[in-house]
């Protein structure tokens, strides 16, 4: 049993939030193991939701999530309508991306060997585009609507890391640490480095940061760190604006660890963290405010892995605390009155 857990740890230490074992990975193991035992169509409240997307199949639309299993429900359904999906591969689904028509999902087995599964609305199968010869497992899969391409950051069979282009061809990198987040194959972050337009940024925002999230929005590239700071640039990193340093009142390591960005409306972003819920960032003023409802401790203090917005319905996927849903007014940048767990 210990050897299997160790292999899983190798395969999963860099899931969407790039968590270390003391940041909640043991919770991830527990909730994923629980999820594989679910036979009904409801989501457990302690599930970990790592990625989410929406797919149109014929006249119907479905939400899909990666949560150990791949699961889905009709957009017109509710929290009791989630059903498990067989991708045709045994293992843990750690990442998922869709363009609204097809899905790519990363699956890692208990020998830390991965595959990328593909769904075109009919059947799940191996990806029709060949993966790099040195591919071992997907760390993250992203879709870029501007280019119309999917990109994979992945672990290579020599235990270094790289990123593919839109044709799933290795870009030739050999990083000792993973590509933790990417916009495409030219703009990404990997540990202590930021790559913009395919080149390492010579002038980083500061020293000693661990870069964990990146987003392209409103003419700026935003990066978040695990050191409590958010930065942005509109000149390929020649100059940076900085927000920080944000701290959490919890635990012995108070620096906020930013994990993910998502667009909220025309001038606001959602920014998730691994240890202090989430923030709303006003891109016009370049200011950020923390989610204020402390009566929802799982959103106020928890680890946020993903956001998904479908018109005014917003889902928030958490690490070990379920999938949350509420409405969000794009016009007023305000939340609805009722938070629900799916």
pLDDT in tens, 233-282: 999 999 999 998 899 887 666 899 999 999 999 999 999 999 999 999 99
pLDDT of residue 253: 65
The pLDDT value recorded for residue 49 is: 97
pLDDT of residue 331: 96
Residues β-bridged to residue 281:
269, 288
Residues 6 or more apart whose Cβ sits within 8 Å of residue 258: 212, 213, 224, 225, 226, 230, 271, 272, 273, 274
Percent of the chain with pLDDT over 90: 83
For position 266, what pLDDT does the model report? Answer: 97
Residue 189 in contact with residue 171, Cβ under 8 Å?
no
What is the mean predicted confidence (pLDDT) over 38-64? 87
Domain 2-341 fold is Methylamine Dehydrogenase; Chain H (2.130.10)
Q: In this model, does residue 30 exceed pLDDT 70?
A: no
* Measured distance CA(171)–CA(190) in Å, rounded: 14
What is the tally of helices (H) and strands (E) in the chain? Answer: 3, 28
Within 13 Å and on the Cβ side, how many CA atoms surround 74? 6
Residue 68 is given by DSSP the state B
The DSSP code sequence of 164-191 is B-TTS-B-S--BSS---EESSSSSEEEB
What are the residue boundaries of the structural domains of the chain, listed by start? 2-341
Statement: residue 334 has pLDDT above 90: yes
């Amino acid at each position: 049993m210990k050897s299997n857990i160790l292999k899983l740890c190798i395969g999963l230490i860099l899931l969407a939030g790039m968590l270390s074992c003391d940041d909640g990975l043991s919770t991830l193991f527990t909730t994923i193991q629980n999820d594989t035992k679910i036979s009904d169509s409801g989501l457990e409240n302690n599930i970990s939701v790592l990625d989410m997307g929406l797919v149109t199949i014929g006249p119907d639309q479905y939400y899909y999530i990666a949560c150990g299993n791949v699961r889905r429900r009709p957009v017109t359904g509710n929290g009791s309508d989630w059903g498990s999906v067989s991708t045709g591969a045994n293992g843990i689904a750690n990442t998922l991306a869709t363009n609204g028509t097809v899905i790519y999902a990363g699956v890692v087995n208990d020998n830390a060997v991965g595959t990328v599964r593909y769904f075109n609305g009919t059947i799940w199968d191996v990806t029709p585009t060949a993966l790099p010869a040195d591919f071992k497992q997907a760390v993250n899969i992203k879709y870029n609507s501007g280019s119309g391409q999917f990109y994979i950051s992945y672990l290579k069979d020599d235990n270094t890391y790289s990123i593919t282009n839109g044709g799933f061809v290795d870009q030739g990198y050999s990083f000792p640490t993973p590509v933790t987040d990417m916009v495409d194959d030219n703009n990404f972050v990997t540990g202590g480095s930021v790559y913009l337009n395919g080149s390492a940024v010579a002038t980083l925002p500061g020293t000693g940061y661990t870069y964990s999230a990146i987003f392209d929005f409103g003419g700026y590239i935003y990066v978040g760190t695990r050191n409590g700071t958010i930065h942005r640039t509109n000149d390929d990193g020649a100059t940076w604006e900085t927000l920080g340093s944000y701290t959490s009142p919890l635990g012995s390591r108070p620096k906020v660890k930013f994990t993910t960005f998502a667009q909220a409306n025309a001038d606001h972003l959602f920014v998730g963290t691994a240890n202090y819920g989430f923030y709303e960032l006003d891109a016009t003023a370049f200011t950020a405010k923390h989610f204020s409802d402390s009566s929802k401790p799982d959103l106020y203090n928890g680890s946020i892995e993903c956001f998904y917005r479908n018109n005014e319905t917003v889902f928030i996927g958490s690490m070990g605390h379920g999938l949350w849903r509420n409405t969000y007014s794009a016009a007023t940048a305000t939340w609805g009155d009722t938070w629900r767990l799916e």
